[in-house]
Amino acid sequence: MTNIGQGLTQKWLGEKVISICSNDKEVLREFSLIFKKIGIAPCIFESLEDFWHESLKSGAPTLTIFDIRLMTQEKLILKDHPLVKASKLPLCFVYSKDTEPLLFSTYEILNLGLIKLSKHTTGQVKAVLKRLNNFTKLNEENAFLKKENDEKFLKLSKRVEELGESDFFTRRLKEICNSFSSEIDDSFLKSCAKIFEKIEFIKGYSFYEVGSVSKKIDSPELFNFKKYIKLPSLWGSNEGLDYINIASQKMSVQVASEIFDNDFVSLVIKDENNKGQKIIFLSLNDKTWYNKFDFAFFEKFLGSYFLKFCIKSIKELNKIESQSLNFWSFLSLVEKKGGENICIDFTVFLNSLVNDKIDNSLEWENFIRDFIGEVKRDFNGTLKYSFDSNIRVYFLTSEDKKEELIKVLEDVISSFPYRRYCFNNSGEFISFEKPKLNFNVFGKNYIKNHRIKNREREQPGRFFKPSEFL
């Protein structure tokens, strides 16, 4: 472990590096003590210029704690740092009551949170480190999946080339595989459905997948696809598993046999752990295709294609985090800005799912990720959003884009496939009301108007010393 004040470059040699950028002796003393308790001696930078040059020379630290008073220095601005612009610099910002007005300069920078100097500083540092660990884990998984996916696609592409252009069925296989490269929808199965609708030798098709919460085998709702046939949901041998086991695969084939009169081929789509996640059933117009078309290769190709969506799911969650404001920052921003704020209120939707006789459930994470994803896909302007618990989502954009945003939100509310994310164990039909588009004003009287009734502050059972969190 190196000590504070020694050479800078040596601290980047394969170890976890914590950098503190501040010229405030009190800030440096407090954070140095916190990290020394866990065996880390931070690197100290007393100017933006010193940090700028050393980080470009030696690489990004594991975590940088930045005093918001040092975010600019002459012509240097932190948000223009190459590592910040590339979102490759894990950052958090430290501020005090006196420097709180400067927080607006952090809104455009991807960061792991804000730390306010107080008697609870240690607890805030612990929360930032937890987010850093989760962020690092997701990046490592993303890099692993991308590498594995690229290797599989490279092998598959080489094999397609080796098959040659002379055989009609081989050429047709290559054409279909190429069509998937340009068809990336919001879900794997919907992308497949769009391709299958266009393929002349496919008469009909069906899908099975594992419900992300219920764990039963579901055939999803897909609208406006003429060839698609929805199959009944399956219970039993797969209950509690996050993949489709062999027994459930056999059961699904029996169901498909009755629907397609034994005239079909089944494809099992597996994840990176070789576990079945989707089953695709294809019924063909001409029996010749069953014998001549290389469905074994097509199954492997679709498995490789499916991994793209695993990576995309991780990236979408990261984007939602990076483009969202915490509700406290949102309130500070809109109080200064004034005017009406666009809001989607899910109260009516969630209340409509409550049923005394049936326990309805919602796939929370997938629901909000895909809902926000629909809005981002259709809206062309700059967009920020803030979550008021799970009840309301507020959207911020420039004044000249507000009308366009309102139109997009109305369309998403009207057309979003809510039933895809709602389920119950009894298989009963779920009725619901759609969320509402509201316009709220947050003025200086927000606190006065925000009445909290029938609540009492609960005193903690015991108090914890800051050192207990380390």
Residue 324 has pLDDT above 90, yes or no: no
Residue 387 has pLDDT above 60, yes or no: yes
The answer, as to whether pTM is greater than 0.85, is no
Q: How confident is the model at residue 425 (pLDDT cuts 50, 70, 90)?
A: low
C-alpha–C-alpha distance, residues 369 and 440, integer Å: 23
Between residues 320 and 400, which one has the greater pLDDT?
400
Select, from the ranges 80-84, 211-215, 461-465, the one with the highest average predicted confidence (pLDDT). 80-84
- Residue ranges of the chain assigned to CATH 3.30.70: 323-449
Q: How confident is the model at residue 390 (pLDDT cuts 50, 70, 90)?
A: confident
Order the strands of the 392-396 sheet from edge to edge.
Answer: 324-325, 384-388, 392-396, 340-345, 436-441
Between residues 330 and 451, which one has the greater pLDDT?
330
Predicted local distance difference test score (pLDDT) of residue 314 = 52
Would you state the structure tokens that stand for residue 443, as one six-digit string? Answer: 């003025």
For 21-48, what is the mean pLDDT? 89
The angle that helices 188-198 and 295-322 make with each other, rounded to 10 degrees, is 140
What percentage of the chain has pLDDT greater than the value 70?
81
Task: At 380, give phi and psi (nearest 5°).
Answer: -95, -10
For 306-334, what is the mean pLDDT? 68
Predicted local distance difference test score (pLDDT) of residue 6 = 33
Between residues 122 and 320, which one has the greater pLDDT?
122
Unique residue bearing structure tokens 């306010």 = 116
Please write the tens of the pLDDT for every residue from 183-205: 666 678 888 999 999 999 999 99
Contacting residues for 12 by C-beta, under 8 A, at least 6 apart: 58, 59, 61
323-449, CATH topology level: Alpha-Beta Plaits (3.30.70)
Predicted local distance difference test score (pLDDT) of residue 443 = 61
Predicted local distance difference test score (pLDDT) of residue 319 = 56
For 231-255, what is the mean pLDDT? 81
Number of C-beta neighbours around residue 315 at 10 A: 11
Predicted local distance difference test score (pLDDT) of residue 279 = 94
What percentage of the chain has pLDDT greater than the value 90?
19
Mean pLDDT rounded to a whole number for the chain:
80
Predicted local distance difference test score (pLDDT) of residue 12 = 38
Residues making up the chain, counted from first to last: 470
Between residues 312 and 58, which one has the greater pLDDT?
58
Between residues 389 and 258, which one has the greater pLDDT?
258
C-alpha–C-alpha distance, residues 435 and 371, integer Å: 12
Predicted local distance difference test score (pLDDT) of residue 456 = 43
CATH of domain 11-118: 3.40.50.2300
For 280-285, what is the mean pLDDT? 94
Position 241, amino acid: L
Task: Give yes or no for a contact between 117 and 94, defined as CB atoms under 8 angstroms apart.
Answer: yes
C-alpha–C-alpha distance, residues 122 and 465, integer Å: 9
Predicted local distance difference test score (pLDDT) of residue 161 = 64
Between residues 405 and 164, which one has the greater pLDDT?
405
Predicted local distance difference test score (pLDDT) of residue 195 = 93
C-alpha–C-alpha distance, residues 351 and 362, integer Å: 12
C-alpha–C-alpha distance, residues 398 and 381, integer Å: 8
Predicted local distance difference test score (pLDDT) of residue 322 = 60
Closest CA to 291 of 265, 262, 324, 328: 265
Please write the tens of the pLDDT for every residue from 73-104: 888 999 999 999 888 889 999 999 888 888 88
Task: Give yes or no for a contact between 462 and 371, defined as CB atoms under 8 angstroms apart.
Answer: no
Task: At 422, give phi and psi (nearest 5°).
Answer: -110, 140
Between residues 469 and 307, which one has the greater pLDDT?
307
CATH of domain 139-314: 3.30.450
Predicted local distance difference test score (pLDDT) of residue 108 = 85
Please write the tens of the pLDDT for every residue from 119-151: 888 888 888 888 888 888 888 888 888 888 888
Task: At 178, give phi and psi (nearest 5°).
Answer: -65, -35
Between residues 225 and 428, which one has the greater pLDDT?
225
Would you state the structure tokens that stand for residue 465, as one six-digit string? Answer: 């010393």
Predicted local distance difference test score (pLDDT) of residue 65 = 92
Task: At 343, give phi and psi (nearest 5°).
Answer: -145, 140
C-alpha–C-alpha distance, residues 117 and 191, integer Å: 49
C-alpha–C-alpha distance, residues 243 and 423, integer Å: 18
- Residue ranges of the chain assigned to CATH 3.40.50.2300: 11-118
Predicted local distance difference test score (pLDDT) of residue 463 = 47
- 81-84's contacts with Cβ under 8 Å and 24+ in sequence apart are 81/52, 81/55, 82/56, 83/55, 83/56, 84/109, 84/110
Predicted local distance difference test score (pLDDT) of residue 193 = 92
